[in-house]
Amino acid sequence: MYAIVSDLHSNLEAMTAVLEDIESRGIEEIVCLGDMIGYGPDPRAVLDIAKSKFRFCLLGNHEHAILFTAVGFNVKAMAAVEWTREQLNSKDYTRDENHQVWNFLGSIQSSRTEGDILYVHASPMEPITQYILPVDIHSKDLMTDLFAKVPRIGFGGHTHIPGVFTSGGKFISPRECDGVFTLGAERVFCNVGSTGQPRDGDNRACYATFDGARIEWHRVRYDFLRTQKKIFKTKRLPEVLGHRLAVGR
């Protein structure tokens, strides 16, 4: 049994609450599907913990944006990229400390296959950028392309909307299966949801666990008011990034 987290988005309070929840289940292994940074107020702290706690991390579009160029970012997301980049170059830290952060970001891979499991941030076709939304289950060509690249199971994040796409043409949200999906003969692409900025109408931090047969999504309450306050205090991160944490949208 191990835990899969994604889209922490510099939200230290959500990350801490999720790590405590994982620990309370006796689970030691955690993997991360990217977007550790962006949007939130604690990029350095989140990257520090990610580096030491996660077995591997993948490159999300927010890490890609800060390392290379921002593709498809709106004005608010772009403001967060710029602010985050400044934090990671902060003069409050030594050159060496800043180098370590950038070296870590530079070492992250964009996808990973282990046995019959594929891990990506976004989609099997475009691991860093492509959104696969629940409605896309109706797009036959897209699903054919997707499952052509999924060995038996794929895990992703990116949309911040948890659920499972099956090769048989169904999208099943955690609400529809009481938070547990058991693998059968069909192949699946599973979105593990977002720890740091949920967008499925539930403001609790989200992550998943997997034991080889069963995927379970977990929701964890955390002190989002504290995260909001930190966002507002920066005066640079758009306030909407704080407000949305309260509603999970």
Residues that bind Fe ion (CB under 5 A): 7, 35
Q: How far is the CB of 35 from Fe ion (least distance, A)?
A: 4
Shorter beta-carbon distance to Fe ion: residue 35 or 216: 35
Q: How far apart are CA 8 and CA 34, in angstroms?
A: 8
Q: How far apart are CA 236 and CA 213, in angstroms?
A: 44
Q: How far is the CB of 84 from Fe ion (least distance, A)?
A: 13
Closest CA relative to residue 21, chosen from 43, 46, 3, 40: 3
DSSP single-letter state for residue 174: G
Q: How far is the CB of 110 from Fe ion (least distance, A)?
A: 14
Task: For the chain, state the CA radius of gyration.
Answer: 17
Q: How far is the CB of 34 from Fe ion (least distance, A)?
A: 8
Give residue 95's identity as a one-letter amino acid code. R
Burial track 75-104 (b if 16+ CB lie within 10 A, e otherwise): eebebbbebbeebbeeeeeeeeebeebeeb
Shorter beta-carbon distance to Fe ion: residue 199 or 219: 199
Q: How far is the CB of 158 from Fe ion (least distance, A)?
A: 6
**Is the CB of residue 47 less than 8 Å from the CB of residue 15?**
no
